[in-house]
Structure 1
C-alpha cells in the first residue's frame, strides 16, 4: 500500500504566545499519584478491557455450553463463584499496615502454578505500597463460570480495584485511584474448597 504524505507550512503562532510553550509536553501529575496508578497496573490488566470484560461475561452466560454447565450443577456453579470472589478479594488486596495478610491469603487460596504466578504479579507491590503507605482493595463485581469438569473449573472475573495512599501528596491520598480489571481463574476442588490453580490476565 502506497502512502502519500502532504506537508503543510506551519501556521504562525498567535501573537504574544510562546511557540515553545505550544509544543511543550503537558506536565505530569504528582509522583505519588503516578505511583498509585502503577500499583494497580502492576497487579492486573485494567482500564480499556473493562467493557470487553462485561461483554465477555454476558457472552459466557448466553453460550449454550456455559448455560448447560450452570443448569446441570447450579449449586457447584454458585459455590465456585462465591469462593472465587473471596479468593480474589484476599489475593489482590494489600494493606501496608498488615503485609502478612497477603501471605496468609496465598497459603489459603492458591495451589499449583498459581503460587508462582501470584508471587510474580505481586512481586514489587510490598515495596511500593510500603513507601506510599498504600491500601489496595480489589472487589469482584461480576463473574461467570466458563466451564466445570468434575473437580476443575474456570471462571471469568470482573473486578473493581482501588489504591489509596496516606503518604506524600495530600490530594492523591484523598482521591486515590480506581480502575476496572478482568481476568480468569482456573480452580480446583480440594477438601471441599475451590482453590486457584492458575491466573490468566490475558496479557500475553
Structure 2
C-alpha cells in the first residue's frame, strides 16, 4: 500500500515537473497513472473544499443571528447611554440643555402671567378712577363746549324770549302779558313783574314804547335741560306824546333757562345788582 502511494506521488511529481529536455514527451503509462492517482486526490480535495464550504456556511448562518443579537445589544446599550445622558442624574450632559430650558420656561411662565395680571388690574383701576374724575369735572359736563347744535338752539330761543318779555307798548299791554306767560317760569315771573313795574305805571301817561333787541349772547353752561346764558341787549325807550323823545341804553344780564317740552323758558334773571 505504501509502495503504491510512494509510486503515485513520485509519478505526480514527475508529471508536474517540467521536462528536462526540450521536446520530451511524457510517458503514456506515467500519464495514465498520474491521472488515476489524481482522481482520488481530486475527490479528496473536493470533499475537503465542501467541508470547508459547509463550515463557512455554518459560520455565516451562526454569524447572522449572532451579529443581529450583537447589534441589538449594542443599540440597547447606546439607548441606555443616551437616556443616561438626558436624565436628571447627568445635568452636565449636552442632551440635558433643551430639557433644562423647558423646565425654566415652565417655572417662569406662571410668574410672568401673575405679573401681567397684576399690571392689568392696576391699569384697570387707574383707568376707572381717571374716567370718574373726568366725568366729575364741570368742563366735561358742559355741553356748551362740545354740542354746537344745542348751544345754537338755546341761544336762539332765549334771545327771542328776552326780546319779547322786555319789550312793552302802552297801546297793547296784553302783548307783554302773553310774552311773560309764554317765556317765563319759576322765579323769573316775579322778577320780570318787578323790573317792568315802573314802565307799566308810566307808559299810559307818557305813551311809552320800550323795545329790547338782543345784540349778543353766550351760553355759559349747558347740561341736559338746564342752561345759563349771558345776554347783551340794546334798549330804546320812546315817548310819543307832545314832545317825542327816544333814549337808548345798553343792558347786560344773565338768565337761567330750563327746557320744557320743545322750547326753552327763562327761569331766573340776574342783573348783577345787590
Tell me whether the two structures share a fold, i.e. TM-score over 0.5.
yes
Q: Which residue of 214, 223, 246 corresponds with 1:149?
A: 223
Report what 1:98 is aligned to.
172
Q: Which residue of 200, 213, 217 corresponds with 1:139?
A: 213
DSSP-derived class of the 1:124 partner = helix
Q: What is the alpha-carbon distance in structure 2 between the residues aligned to residue 69 and residue 77 of structure 1? A: 8
TM-score of the superposed pair, with normalisation by structure 1: 0.64
Tell which structure's C-alpha radius of gyration is larger. 2
Cα RMSD over matched residues?
1.7
Report what 2:267 is aligned to.
197
Please say if residues 132 and 168 of structure 1, whose CA atoms lie closer than 8 Å, have aligned partners that are also in contact: no
Report what 2:249 is aligned to.
179
Report what 1:88 is aligned to.
162
Q: What is the alpha-carbon distance in structure 2 between the residues aligned to residue 158 and residue 109 of structure 1? A: 18
Report what 1:49 is aligned to.
none
Which 4+ runs in 1 deviate beyond 6 A?
A: none
| Residue 198 of structure 2 is aligned to residue 128 of structure 1 | no
Greater per-residue strand proportion: 1
| Residue 149 of structure 2 is aligned to residue 75 of structure 1 | yes
| Deviation at residue 157 of structure 1 after TM alignment | 0.1
| Residue 189 of structure 2 is aligned to residue 119 of structure 1 | no
Please say if residues 95 and 135 of structure 1, whose CA atoms lie closer than 8 Å, have aligned partners that are also in contact: yes
Q: What is the alpha-carbon distance in structure 1 between the residues aligned to residue 247 and residue 267 of structure 2? A: 29
Q: What is the alpha-carbon distance in structure 2 between the residues aligned to residue 119 and residue 166 of structure 1? A: 23
Q: What is the alpha-carbon distance in structure 2 between the residues aligned to residue 70 and residue 154 of structure 1? A: 10
Report what 1:54 is aligned to.
none
Please say if residues 94 and 137 of structure 1, whose CA atoms lie closer than 8 Å, have aligned partners that are also in contact: yes
DSSP-derived class of the 2:232 partner = strand
Please say if residues 132 and 166 of structure 1, whose CA atoms lie closer than 8 Å, have aligned partners that are also in contact: yes
In structure 2, runs of 5+ residues without a counterpart are 1-137
Q: Which residue of 161, 168, 171 corresponds with 2:242?
A: 168
Q: What is the alpha-carbon distance in structure 1 between the residues aligned to residue 174 and residue 216 of structure 2? A: 27
Report what 1:61 is aligned to.
none
Higher relative contact order (CA 8 A, sep 6+): 1
Q: Which residue of 182, 185, 202 corresponds with 1:108?
A: 182
Q: What is the alpha-carbon distance in structure 2 between the residues aligned to residue 91 and residue 182 of structure 1? A: 15
